[in-house]
Structures are given as structure tokens and as C-alpha cells.
Amino acid sequence: MRLPYQNMKFMLSVVRMQDAPVDEGLEVAFAGRSNAGKSSGLNVLASQNNLARTSKTPGRTRELNYFEIDSQRRIVDLPGYGYAKVSRQVQNQWRGLLDDFLQNRQSLQGLMVFMDIRHPMSDYDLQLIDWCEHRQLPLHILLTKADKLGYGKAKSTLMAIRQELTPATMPATVQTFSALKKTGLDEAYETLDHWFQLSETDEKKSTV
């Protein structure tokens, strides 16, 4: 367990930015295709089993889901994308919401992009990276479900993605992660602490 993330609470879901929490304080967005492992990642980072609904039925989420860490810090789970089962109209709605969010949200400190390590850098992922580049917003990629690959293959995928990020002009980092095996947690926390402006001394680790 790790403070302050274990204090995370669900705040609200919104389908329009007008309904989002006041654009103050510090916000970090979790993004990625449906089924990439965002909800599982969020649950593990918060040390809570049912904070974010994990689902074997992909593509359900059509809202921005807000989670509060403390009065100044929030995580927002962005709508997934990449499954063709929804209509073009619904896809356009998601796209409009994401555009609005990514272009205008002032409290946004960084984007964590979740990618299944077996299928990284989809078109959608590349668009998210472009958004970061455009806004000069820090990017951190979690290569999820690393337990699905052997060590060597996971490592070579990590190196290849790191190489692909070298031309980026914003801060851009990448790591391997497994919600199942709980690996890569410390690296993810370090990035979050940095974006949430939690200094070394504020950072409290619980041994419970």
C-alpha cells in the first residue's frame, strides 16, 4: 500500500467537460485502448480491488471517470477506444470529448498511456502520443500484462518502444507493468509522485 494513492475514491463520471470537476489542482489522465489494462492498473496502484470496474467485456466505458486522491489531486480514466462494436456516432462523441479534454484541461500534468505489451503502439496510441507532443505534455507509457511475455521478449519490446520515443520533444518514458504480478508499481508511483508534485519527504510508504 502506498500513500496517498490508497486514499483514492471514485468521484464522478462525465460525458461533457462542463460537468467535470473544477479545473484546478493537479490532474493525471490514464488512457489507452479498451482492454489495455487501465482499470486493473488503477486498482493495483490504489491497492483497492473494486475501485475501477475491470471487465472482460471491452468498450463499455464511454465517460471520463474521475478519481480523487486528495483535494488537490485527481486521476481521470479516459474513455477506451479501439473496438469497432460501437457506432460511428458514438465514436465521434468519444473523440469530441477526448479532444476537448486533451486540448483544454489546464490542470492536466501528464498522460499515462496503457498498452498491452503484446500489441503496443496502435493507431490510437500514436494519436495520444501526438497529442502529448502537440501540447508538450509529459507522457509515461505502461506496457501492461508483461506477465504474458517471457523476460527477454518483454525487455526487447521495452527497448524498442524506448527507441521509438527518442525523437519526442516532451518528457517521454516507458516501463513494463503487470497488475496481475504487481510488477512495475514503484516505477509508476515515481512518475505519479513527480507529476503530482509529491516530494521525497511527503512521500509516505506504508508497510501494512
The residues that touch ligand GDP, with contacts defined as CB under 6 A, are: 32, 34-40, 54-56, 58, 80, 114, 144-145, 147-148, 178-180
Looking at residues 29 to 68 of the shown chain, list those that interact with Mg ion (rule: CB under 5 A). Answer: 38-39
Q: Which is nearer to ligand GDP, 86 or 168 (CB)?
A: 86
Q: Which is nearer to ligand GDP, 34 or 109 (CB)?
A: 34
Least distance in angstroms from the C-beta of 39 to Mg ion: 3
The strand pair at 73-77 and 26-32 is best described as: parallel
Q: Name the DSSP letter for residue 79.
A: P
How many CB atoms are located within 10 Å of the residue 59 CB? Answer: 18
CA dist list (Å): 208 to 8, 31, 164, 198: 17, 30, 39, 21
Cα-to-chain-centroid distance, residue 203 = 21
Q: Which does 148 bind (CB under 5 to 8 A by kind): Mg ion, ligand GDP, none?
A: ligand GDP
User: How far does the chain reach from its first CA to its final CA, in angstroms?
Assistant: 7
Q: Which does 34 bind (CB under 5 to 8 A by kind): ligand GDP, Mg ion, none?
A: ligand GDP
Q: Name the DSSP letter for residue 52.
A: S
Least distance in angstroms from the C-beta of 149 to ligand GDP: 10
What residue ranges bind Mg ion (CB under 5 A)? Answer: 38-39
